[in-house]
Amino acid sequence: MTAIAMPPADDAIMARRAEIAAALREMVGDDGVVAGDNELRAFETDGFTAYRFVPLVVVLPQTTEEVSKVAAYCNANGIPLVPRGAGTSLAGGAIPQEDSVVICLSRMSEIIDIDYANRAATVEAGVTNLAISEAVSDDGFFYAPDPSSQLACTIGGNIAMNSGGAHCLKYGVTTNNLLGVTLVLVDGTVVELGGKHLDAEGYDLLGLICGSEGQLGIVTQTTVRLLAKPEGARPVLFGFQKSEAAGACVADIIGTGIVPVAIEFMDKPAIEICEAFAGAGYPMDVEALLIVEVEGSEKEMDDMLSRVVDIAQRHDVHVVKECQSATEAALIWKGRKSAFGATGRIADYICMDGTVPLGQLPHVLKETARIVDEFGLRVANVFHAGDGNMHPLILYNVNDPVEAQKVEECGMELLKLCVDAGGCLTGEHGVGIEKRDLMLYQYDKRDLDQQMAVRAAFDPKWVLNPAKVFPLEARGSGSVQAA
């Protein structure tokens, strides 16, 4: 994951770029193609940022028909095609290759239809996550998945990575709120999967597409589920003197059968970072913090919180702070959702994304501290505790090659820890470049061969996002090959 500085393009690359750009302009118009060196650098990386590669060309289609033409052209000419939304991917999923065309769907940003009778919204792939909820809020509805980057991230990217968010404990992640997609296959064929009905017929191809990281097709339009806003919502802060106690409390809450809308975890470094940024009123004399939010009527919330407080007290809770106003609730969530940006103010960091069984949270938190300490690094833990989705932020100096190497090795050890604890490599960020070499740690060769066979059935020449997800050396022979 070490940052790489790229040399200027040579004459052969420039000639190739000009040829491809000219062909693409015929499909999408002059204003839909980016081919200048300086302009292309805006697309050389994503939220992962460890690698930087300038693509050959960037194309910005405005219709499904244009996407179809671009896909067919790249497939026919063996040009790698990398789908991109807002570029907020945290695993390198949208980072281009130097010989690739990036197809960015940011101009496809229309909300096409809002259908309250069927509780569904149909939108283009470039619509931001938050824009969907804003469009229906006045009518008492919302779109449930809420990544921290929801102000910027697009629904197409959310589908590619099966994104989650703080409130997905109760409402599920993207796949649980996805009803249908318009999908452009690698040869330009346009297919419709699902729709406004609650369950699609036949094989669950919609479930296969969600989380496929742009390797099976390009989503241009989607229909998502809308939910009615709850009668009320109330977050409560719980402070603990040990991270392991907070982890054990989470497992007991879920094990009791209580399902709050969200359970978020912060350790002391994360608390200090977020409080300095947001002034959220977090307790500063604790080692770990849980944000537990419940929904419903006042009576329902009172009952649920009473039970949650009883459980927390069995784990020696040090602080119980119940939200008293809408303003205070907004601040509590502002602090949590600003965690990544606030951390970036004080240090470079990489954000890992592994998931573990809830019963393993105390063990994994303890081992995380030990591993990071052994590497001589610092970590701020902030994550979706209710579904065991870990997000350790490992702090380092990106300009120090020694620290950059350490942070890469440390991150890999933390992901292995998640797998060893019975979990998996990713909860919502995807595999991308970051974790592709660890796929062999979680899966054996037969597992990977089967996954790659499915991938190759959609894209036999491996044109779509080809350098992601699967270890480069793991690709077999026959139909399972890189282009």
pLDDT digits (tens, 9 = 90+) for 41-69: 999 999 988 789 999 999 999 999 999 99
Q: What is the rounded CA–CA span in Å between residue 136 and residue 120?
A: 10
Question: 130: helix, coil or strand?
Answer: helix
- Is residue 463 within 8 Å of residue 186, measured between CB atoms? yes
Give the pLDDT mean for 399-407: 94
Predicted confidence at residue 3, as pLDDT, reads: 42
CATH number, residue 402: 3.30.70.2740
Question: Looking at 104, 119, 153, which one is the last position of a domain?
Answer: 104
Cα 38 to Cα 15, 35, 135: the distances in Å are 17, 9, 35
Predicted confidence at residue 352, as pLDDT, reads: 93
DSSP state string for 188-236:
S-EEEEE-SSSS-SSS-HHHHHTTSTTSS-EEEEEEEE-EEPPS-EEEE
Question: Looking at 420, 435, 458, which one is the last position of a domain?
Answer: 420
- Co-location of 118 and 222 in the same domain: yes
Return the axis-axis angle of helices 326-337 and 268-278, rounded to nearest 10°: 120
- Is residue 320 within 8 Å of residue 238, measured between CB atoms? yes
Write out the residue range of the structural domain in which residue 218 sits: 111-228
Instruction: Say whether pLDDT at 459 is over 80.
Output: yes
Predicted confidence at residue 4, as pLDDT, reads: 42
Instruction: Say whether pLDDT at 477 is over 80.
Output: no
Return the axis-axis angle of helices 243-255 and 298-313, rounded to nearest 10°: 130
Closest by CA to 319, choosing from 290, 344, 362, 341, is: 290
Give the pLDDT mean for 399-422: 96
CATH number, residue 249: 3.30.70.3450
Q: State the DSSP H helix or E strand holding residue 447, giving kind and residue range, or none if neither.
A: helix 445-458
* 7-39 pLDDT, tens digit each: 556 888 899 999 999 999 999 999 999 999 999
- Co-location of 211 and 250 in the same domain: no
- Co-location of 262 and 364 in the same domain: no
Structure tokens at 257: 């059968």
Q: Half-sphere exposure of 481 toward its Cβ, with a 13 Å CA cutoff? A: 6
DSSP state string for 317-384:
--EEEE--SHHHHHHHHHHHHTHHHHHHTT-EEEE--EE--GGGHHHHHHHHHHHHHHTT-EEEEEEE
Instruction: Say whether pLDDT at 368 is over 60.
Output: yes
- Co-location of 121 and 218 in the same domain: yes
Predicted confidence at residue 324, as pLDDT, reads: 85
Residue 425 lies in a domain: no
Residue 437 lies in a domain: no
Q: What is the largest CA-CA distance in the chain?
A: 71
Please give the single-letter amino acid code of residue 94. Answer: A
Burial class (CB in 10 A: 0-12, 13-18, 19+), 227: middle
Predicted confidence at residue 10, as pLDDT, reads: 82
Instruction: Say whether pLDDT at 207 is over 70.
Output: yes
Question: Looking at 228, 249, 265, which one is the last position of a domain?
Answer: 228
Residue 5 lies in a domain: no
Residue 434 lies in a domain: no
- Co-location of 203 and 137 in the same domain: yes
Residue 430 lies in a domain: no
Closest by CA to 440, choosing from 427, 449, 429, is: 449
Residue 429 lies in a domain: no
Give the pLDDT mean for 78-106: 96
- Co-location of 215 and 120 in the same domain: yes
Q: What is the CA radius of gyration of the chain?
A: 23
Instruction: Say whether pLDDT at 450 is over 50.
Output: yes
- Co-location of 145 and 181 in the same domain: yes
Mean pLDDT for all residues in the chain:
93
Burial class (CB in 10 A: 0-12, 13-18, 19+), 72: middle
Q: What is the rounded CA–CA span in Å between residue 437 and residue 50?
A: 15
Structure tokens at 4: 């790489």
Predicted confidence at residue 13, as pLDDT, reads: 87
**Chain centroid offset of residue 167 CA:** 14
Question: 70: helix, coil or strand?
Answer: helix
Give the alpha-carbon dihedral of 318, 323, 328, 333, to 10 degrees: 70
* pTM attached to this predicted model: 0.92
How many structural domains does the chain have?
5
Lowest mean pLDDT: which of 41-55, 353-367, 445-459, 464-478? Answer: 464-478
CB contact set of 327 (below 8 Å; sequence gap of 6+) = none
- Co-location of 85 and 119 in the same domain: no
Q: What is the rounded CA–CA span in Å between residue 340 and residue 391?
A: 10
Which residues is 191 bridged to in the sheet? 183
Q: Given pLDDT bands bounded at 50, 70 and 90, which one contains residue 420?
A: very high
Give the pLDDT mean for 241-250: 95
- Co-location of 116 and 223 in the same domain: yes
Residue 151 lies in a domain: yes
- Is residue 471 within 8 Å of residue 437, measured between CB atoms? yes
Give the pLDDT mean for 74-103: 96
* 122-171 pLDDT, tens digit each: 999 999 999 999 999 999 999 999 998 999 999 999 999 999 999 999 99
Instruction: Say whether pLDDT at 453 is over 90.
Output: yes
- Co-location of 351 and 252 in the same domain: no
- Co-location of 357 and 400 in the same domain: yes
- Is residue 110 within 8 Å of residue 64, measured between CB atoms? no
CATH number, residue 220: 3.30.465.10
Instruction: Say whether pLDDT at 380 is over 50.
Output: yes
Residue 391 lies in a domain: yes
- Co-location of 409 and 357 in the same domain: yes
**What strand order describes the sheet that includes 218-225?**
111-115, 120-124, 218-225, 178-184, 190-194
